[in-house]
Amino acid sequence: MSRNSHVEQRLAGIRKQLIGGYYAGGSMSSATKGNERETFIDNFMSEVFPPTFRFGTGDATDSNSNKSGQLDVVIEFPFAPSLPTLGSSARLYLAESVAAVIEVKSDLENQWDEVVKTANALRPVTRLYAGSMVMGLMTPYIPLFAVGYAGWKQLATLQARVAACPEVSGAMIIEPGLFASSQDFGGVAATGDLALWGLIRSLHVAIDGVKAATSDPMKYAI
């Protein structure tokens, strides 16, 4: 299958911007390094996906009162309500309103245990839809993807880590450019600038699977 050179060129530019933003903040204190998450959202996620999607942070809960704990980036699909915290950007998300979750780390290799801990806490949170017309992959669990600016250098190592933790749906390392997804998301592997496309494709699958679903918020109140 031939590749689209225009898409590859654009992905290359985006990846260079993300890497540049990461190195620009490399000498900053840990208190200000939260900019990495904002850079990833503002320069990549919010520019790639349509404005109907909201990117936020907070906890997810389901109708059985399971709760995830703090989630780094929540991709909210706008067909169910979520609850804000006054004076804070953190929200409480109903499980059915979450299309996917992304954990953004400076160094995925050094912080992999944090990703696994978050993924394990999120997995019991279950999405129950009132009805749906299945358009793609729709899982009762909320897919979680991990993104690191730095990390392992070999694709095989990243693939092995994802395979060993089924609670992680996929992982990407921006530099040197690696992506691997779980078997639920096709076992996709990509390197270089196309690692970004691997993540985009997997997130598209996660979103596409629930876009025709409907939820019943009354389940949380009865």
- Ordered by start, the domain boundaries in the chain are 5-220
CA dist 106 and 147 (Å) reads 8
CA 107 to chain centre: 16
Which 8-state DSSP code applies to residue 187? Answer: T
Q: Which residue has the higher pLDDT, 83 or 1?
A: 83
Non-local (6+) Cβ contacts of 70 within 8 A are: 57, 58, 59, 90, 118
Q: Does position 195 have pLDDT exceeding 50, yes or no?
A: yes
Do 176 and 194 touch, CB atoms closer than 8 A? Answer: no
What is the mean predicted confidence (pLDDT) over 83-90?
Answer: 84
- Kindly state the DSSP code that residue 45 receives in the 8-state scheme: I
User: What are the strands, taking DSSP E only, across the chain?
Assistant: 54-61, 71-76, 82-85, 88-94, 98-107, 144-150, 170-173, 178-181, 189-191
In this model, does residue 175 exceed pLDDT 60?
A: yes
**95 versus 50: which is more confidently predicted?**
95
Structure confidence at residue 222 as a pLDDT band (50, 70, 90): low
| Residue 156 identity | A
Q: Does 12 have pLDDT greater than 90?
A: yes
What pLDDT shows up at residue 143?
97
How far, in Å, CA of 151 to CA of 203, rounded?
21
What phi and psi values does residue 172 have, to the nearest 5 degrees?
-130, 140
Distances in Å between the Cα of 21 and the Cα atoms of 25, 38, 179 are 7, 10, 20
Average pLDDT value for the chain: 88
- pLDDT band of residue 27 (cuts 50, 70, 90) is very low
**Residue 32 confidence (pLDDT) above 90:** no
Cis peptide before 176 (omega within 30 of 0): yes
pLDDT score at 106:
92
Residue 180 has pLDDT above 70, yes or no: yes
Residue 1 has pLDDT above 90, yes or no: no
pTM as predicted: 0.91
Mean pLDDT (whole number) for 91-118:
95
Least confident of 61-70, 109-118, 182-191, 203-212: 203-212
Count the alpha carbons within 13 Å of 175 in the hemisphere toward its beta carbon: 14
User: pLDDT band at residue 34, thresholds of 50, 70 and 90?
Assistant: low
